[in-house]
Amino acid sequence: MGIEGQLKIALRMRDGRVEAVDIGSSRPVHASRVLQGRSVDEALGMLPMLFTICGTAQSCAGVRACEQALGWRPSARLEGLRDALVRLETVREHLWRILLDWPGFLDEAPQPNGMSEMLALHKALRQALIRGGDPFRIATVAGAQVTPVPAPLLERLQLTLARAVFGMDPADWLDIEHPSTLSKWAVEGVTVAARLIDRVEGRGWSDLGRCRVAALPPLEHTPLDSLRWSDAFVERPSWFDDSCETSCLTRVESPLLGRLGERHGNGLLVRLVARLTELARLAGGLCPGEGTVVHGDGHNPGIGHSIAARGQLLHRVKLNGERVAAYQILAPTEWNFHPRGVVARSLAGVAGTREQMEQQARLLINAIDLCVSYELSID
């Protein structure tokens, strides 16, 4: 087992229904303590090696936390470049799910060739974006150059997504505004994404996992130093005593999602469509713009924020001079897989035969998304 750890999710049944959902975690949520005593530069260099899942988002939150603690203020263009790199990483993470996981729910083979193509393209796009220097190191703040992304690479991305995911130009897919049009696209079954949507609708699982759960508000504009940064809070966070959700669904809106939400709430179909919607939008939004500078005021401890693929990510660093005295990370998995969080509430609605319940549970876990492996048991 790597540093990411594992989740154990158990459904306890009675009379064919879920009586209770137990979620246990061996995630080393305090692994960032290994950064204590390191210089800021050393700590930032170690982050993407320690946390290989969403390493770009981790680096982004980390450098922002350190900048705040040091009183360094990056330019809006540098912040825009960082955001573009995080968005690029999110494209890759969405494609991991769609091309490698979704086929299994259809008894189809994964699509490693398509994923390999996307990984090569991801590497080329990333290299094009960071030609001016590593934007996640303090030394880069003053002199980083933001370079445009070559148009041919962006065109390749659009064409690849059209072929592998949408069966059409992603921008055209975003023009789908009505559930009936979505169903027509799904029935045609040109891609694995379309076929999974059709399967979910055909089995009557569109409402699956529907539950009441509050969305975690955007934290970059919140006085984050007021949060209770205890070990217990990092392990099981809450917002005004509620276990909130932070995910793709909580940050994406569209006319189609609005209409689907009126019918199915936050059920499985809406979650799948939210992932596709964000992917299509991100594919057209990788050119760096100007980001919002919300830190750099010299507040120590410093707190950095980024929008990772699976939700909002926070890093909190306390410095002693230019060395790390304390380091904490609050990841989206701790919100979403909280014992009373959105996953537990969603899984309470699975029903049917044992085989059906297992497939429903795995679909929901995949749709809400977690960054580590898990074991599922049904008793």
138 has binding-site annotation: no
Residue 60 marked in a binding site: no
Please state, in angstroms and rounded to a whole number, the distance separating the CA atoms of residues 132 and 143: 9
Q: How far apart are CA 266 and CA 249, in angstroms?
A: 8
**Cα separation, 331 vs 340, whole angstroms:** 16
Q: Are 98 and 275 in contact (CB under 8 A)?
A: yes
Q: Please enumerate in sequence order all residues whose Cβ is within 8 A of that of 269, keeping only pairs 6 or more positions apart, or say none.
A: 197, 200, 201, 205, 206, 207, 208, 260
Q: Which residues pair with 8 in a beta bridge?
A: 24, 375
Determine the residue type at 124: A
Structure tokens at 14: 């009675």
Q: Which residues pair with 17 in a beta bridge?
A: 14, 351
Which residues on neighbouring strands pair with residue 315, listed in sequence order? 304, 329
Residue 169 to residues 34, 114, 173, 280, 281, Cα–Cα distance (Å):
45, 17, 6, 9, 11
Residue 173 has φ and ψ, to the nearest 5°, of -65, -35
Q: Residue ranges for the binding site for Ni(2+)?
A: 371
Q: Residue ranges for the binding site?
A: 329, 371
Q: Residue ranges for the binding site for Mg(2+)?
A: 329
